[in-house]
């Protein structure tokens, strides 16, 4: 469980990059809106699975 929590924190903070970077890429014309939405929902799912594992204990 402790190992899980150790990994959960960096994983969840990293998942927020999928909330930040895809919109930047979309704005700059690097990816389509459809791809952006898919990446963001992936980041959202990872965040809500991983964040409760360590945020509850802090």
Partner 1 sequence: MAKTQDAEEAVSSNEFEREPVPENARKGPLAFWGMYAGEHAAGTEFTIGPLFLAAGASLKDLMFGLFLGNVLAVLTWRYLVLPIAMKRRLTLYYQLEKVAGSSTVKIYNVVNGVLFCFLAGAMITVSASAVGVPFNVRFQVPAELFGLGGVSFTVIVAVIGLVIAAVAAAGYDAVSRFANIAAPWMILVFAACGLVSLGQMDAHSVDRLHAIWNEGVAFVQSNNGQQEFGFWKIVIFSWLCNAAMHLGMADLSIFRFANSKSSGWAPSVGMFLGHYMAWICAALMLAALISTNPAATLNDLGKVQVDPGFLAWNALGWTGIICVVIAGWTTANPTIYRAGLAFQSLLPKHSSRMAGVLIAGLVATIAGAFPQLSARLLDFVGTYGMILGPVGAILFVNHYLAKKAGFLEDGAAVTGSTFNFAVLIAWLLPAFSGLYLIFFKGVFASYLVIPAWLASGLLYLILARFMFPKSSR
Going residue by residue from 29 to 58, which x/- string records binding to partner 1, judged by CB under 8 A? x---x--xxx-xx-xx--xx--xx--xx--
Contact 5, 53 (CB under 8 A): yes
Residue with tokens 């899980």: 4
Which helix (H) or strand (E) segment holds residue 53: the answer is helix 33-55
Going residue by residue from 5 to 34, which x/- string records binding to partner 1, judged by CB under 8 A? -----------x--xx-xxx-xx-x---x-
6 vs 38: CA distance, rounded Å: 27
Binding site for partner 1 (CB under 8 A): 16, 19-20, 22-24, 26-27, 29, 33, 36-38, 40-41, 43-44, 47-48, 51-52, 55-56
């Amino acid at each position: 469980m402790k190992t899980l929590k150790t990994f959960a924190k960096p994983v969840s903070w990293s998942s927020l990059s999928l909330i930040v970077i895809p919109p930047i890429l979309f704005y700059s014309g690097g990816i389509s809106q459809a791809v952006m939405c898919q990446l963001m929902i992936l980041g959202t799912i990872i965040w809500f699975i991983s964040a409760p594992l360590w945020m509850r204990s802090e």
